Amino acid sequence: MEQKLPKRSEVPVELTWRLEDIYADEQLWEKDIEKAAALADQLAELNGKMTKDAATLLKAFDLYEQCMMTMGKYYGYASKKSDEDTSDSHGQELNARAATAAAKVEEKVSFFDPEILTLSEEEINKFYEQEPGLKKYEVSIKEILRTKEHVLSKEMEAVLASASEMAQVPSNGFGMLANADLKFPSVKNADGEEVQISNGRFVPLQMSPDRELRKEVFEKFYSRYKEFGNTWAALYSGEVKQRMFYAKARHYNSTFEAAVDGNNVLPAVCDNLIESVHKGFDKMHRYVSLRKKLLGVDELHMYDVYTPMVKDYDAKVTFEEAKEMSLKALAPLGEDYLEIVKQAYDNRWIDVMENEGKRGGAYSSSSYGTHPYMLLNYNNTLDDVFTLVHEMGHSMHTWYSEHEQTYLNSHYKIFVAEVASTTNEILLLEYLLGKAESKQEKAYLINHYLESFKSTLYRQTMFEEFERKTNKMAEDGIPLTSETLAEVYLNLNKDYFGEDMVSDPLIAYEWCRIPHFYYNFYVYQYATSFSAAVAIAHRILEEGAPVVEQYKKFLKSGCTQDPVSLLKIAGVDLSTGKPVDEALEVFGKAIDDMEELYK
């Protein structure tokens, strides 16, 4: 009998998030929309005047911070209302109104950064002496001035801003084709039922124990992508061309340099990652050989990548049990850390279960001045426990940053955003491995770890290389066609998976379906964050309290230093290849452990 999802109104209130902590009623939400608009109007009155003296600049920054904080609050509330039930028209209306109001605010305050850039360092230092209150905004001022040579006149910035909607066309086109227009054929599943292939169903179908089904799905899925190869290539080429336009306009040498500079990270960090991963290909190839052996196949194909290589360990974990498990696993982080985690559990920071219309997946969301929120779709699996501690890691990073830093100083960069979440996952994994009794349970957990390395450290670095190579091709005047892109991708696939993997010709078209290729060199940060987290988690377990204190100092630092310097506080130096090298040693050890289990 089919189990229906509950309606939102049928979910027990204790398993829903308490958005009343942000606004007790919607009238207060309405007032904040008006308040942010009024603050933006007051700030706009200072256009052309805000840098005339220290007192006016301080007034402008105070208005700007209040305006951004208020806008973030009402937008975040509306977004969460929308996500808890996307079929609820009221939630959608709130979200649409918040988006429109926020766009108007941003338009009104767009002069802010360019005007600060008219100041010299000497003038800023004089302002600090005249108005000590400005020191509160020193981090923001430094970050704005850091990109001075890449910011244009107000008029030119307005032109670039007006082109931003047009620049989204390749990404929007990709989304429409991939998610709305592209239709796939059906296959018969193990029960003889007709199942239509879709982007969402592809990986679950590839996890099937039925190898013939996996092969059929793989071939039908990628053949469909290949049919539209020229269109995907035109969209991706458009994405790269718009990056080239902005990079050139802002006086960068390349699209890659422009992208990493936005995070205040040197290109060498990514170069080190790729170099270390190449040196560690032997471990990835060992993993592929192990997968081939455990699946018991003569040839390992790309349609064998997702299916579990060990018998699934079917552990059912209720949410109550998951909370207890997480508290034990995170105990090395100290009582003060656990106390905040308990607050999250006791005070409804989490929207726990799936309901009709609820947004899929999971996330953690900031709400400065209240507390972070987490959205889950908890289904009583061990994987869901990993998702819970992952999102709790994000939330704890946010909580510490927001309690220690002002609003503008609390926004840590994306480069470090996955560190706390992954550190928590590794602590959970090590805790569970430490108490695992059966071979099946140990194998499941080691496999989980191996899959994390494969999908995060290797796969995301491979994606990064694809972006680097193809952007460079376009910059060198080489057309990005379906054939040239497929060739680059297939060669990378062969390098990464090695000789024990048959790189089926259709895998050359996997690039067509990856949305991250429209995120402007985002993916390498998953790999660097993962490497940093492996180092931090193992140091916490080996060295204890002193490392925990360093780690918490990192969590409390917001964006007060550049990301690489922040990670140095936690004892990780990503200006070298050492953290990635050490993470890959851990991967090698996990392969040893799995081989030992299956001798």
Q: Report how far apart the first and last C-alpha atoms of the chain are (Å, whole number).
A: 42
Euclidean distance between CA atoms 94 and 109, whole angstroms: 23
Residue 130, in any domain of the structure: yes
Q: Is the pLDDT of residue 3 over 80?
A: no
Predicted pLDDT at 311: 75
Smallest CA-to-CA distance from 595 within 286, 304, 313, 281 is with 286
Predicted pLDDT at 163: 85
Predicted pLDDT at 199: 85
Report yes or no: 409 and 61 within 8 Å, Cβ to Cβ: no
Predicted pLDDT at 156: 86
Smallest CA-to-CA distance from 464 within 281, 302, 274 is with 274
The mean per-residue pLDDT over the stretch 373-383 comes to 92
Q: Please tell me which of 54-68, 89-103, 170-184 the model is most confident about, judged by mean pLDDT.
A: 54-68
| Strand partners for 501 | 300
Smallest CA-to-CA distance from 2 within 201, 199, 193, 205 is with 193
Predicted pLDDT at 312: 64
Share above pLDDT 90 across residues of the chain, in percent, rounded to a whole number: 82
Predicted pLDDT at 189: 83
Euclidean distance between CA atoms 475 and 389, whole angstroms: 42
Residue 475, in any domain of the structure: no
What is the per-residue pLDDT across 481-516, written as a single tens digit (0 to 9) for each? 999 999 999 999 999 999 999 999 999 999 999 999
Predicted pLDDT at 18: 98
Q: Is the pLDDT of residue 196 over 80?
A: yes
Residue 430, in any domain of the structure: no
Euclidean distance between CA atoms 136 and 274, whole angstroms: 38
What is the per-residue pLDDT across 149-195, written as a single tens digit (0 to 9) for each? 898 877 887 788 778 878 989 998 998 898 889 999 999 987 888 98
Report yes or no: 79 and 365 within 8 Å, Cβ to Cβ: yes
**What are the helix (H) ranges across 262-358?**
267-279, 281-295, 319-329, 335-346
Q: Is the pLDDT of residue 328 over 80?
A: yes
Q: Is the pLDDT of residue 2 over 70?
A: no
Q: Please state the φ and ψ torsions of residue 323, each to the nearest 5 degrees.
A: -65, -45
Count how many domains the chain has. Answer: 1
Residue 59, in any domain of the structure: yes
Question: Which residue bears the tokens 């990835």?
Answer: 284
The mean per-residue pLDDT over the stretch 559-581 comes to 95
Query: Catalytic residue numbers?
Result: 391
Residue 24, in any domain of the structure: yes
Mean pLDDT across the chain, nearest whole number?
A: 94
Task: Tell me how far the alpha carbon of residue 297 is from its chain's centroid.
Answer: 35
Residue 29, in any domain of the structure: yes
What is the per-residue pLDDT across 117-152, written as a single tens digit (0 to 9) for each? 999 999 999 999 999 999 999 999 999 999 888 988
Report yes or no: 70 and 368 within 8 Å, Cβ to Cβ: no
Q: What is the CATH number of the domain that holds 148?
A: 1.20.140.70
Q: Would you place residue 114 in the very low, low, confident or very high pLDDT band (cuts 50, 70, 90)?
A: confident
Residue 198, in any domain of the structure: no
The mean per-residue pLDDT over the stretch 319-339 comes to 98
Tally the residues of the chain. Answer: 599
What is the per-residue pLDDT across 547-558, written as a single tens digit (0 to 9) for each? 999 999 999 999
Residue 31, in any domain of the structure: yes
Share above pLDDT 70 across residues of the chain, in percent, rounded to a whole number: 99
Q: Which residues of 90-125 are buried (b: 16+ CB within 10 A; e: fewer)?
A: ebeebbebbeebbeebeebbebbbbbbbebeeeebe
Q: Which residues contact 276 (CB under 8 A, 6 or more apart)?
A: 577, 580, 581, 584
Least confident of 343-352, 433-442, 542-551: 433-442
The whole-model pTM stands at 0.88
Six-digit token pair at 309?
């290589």
Report yes or no: 317 and 381 within 8 Å, Cβ to Cβ: yes
The whole domain housing 13 covers: 8-167
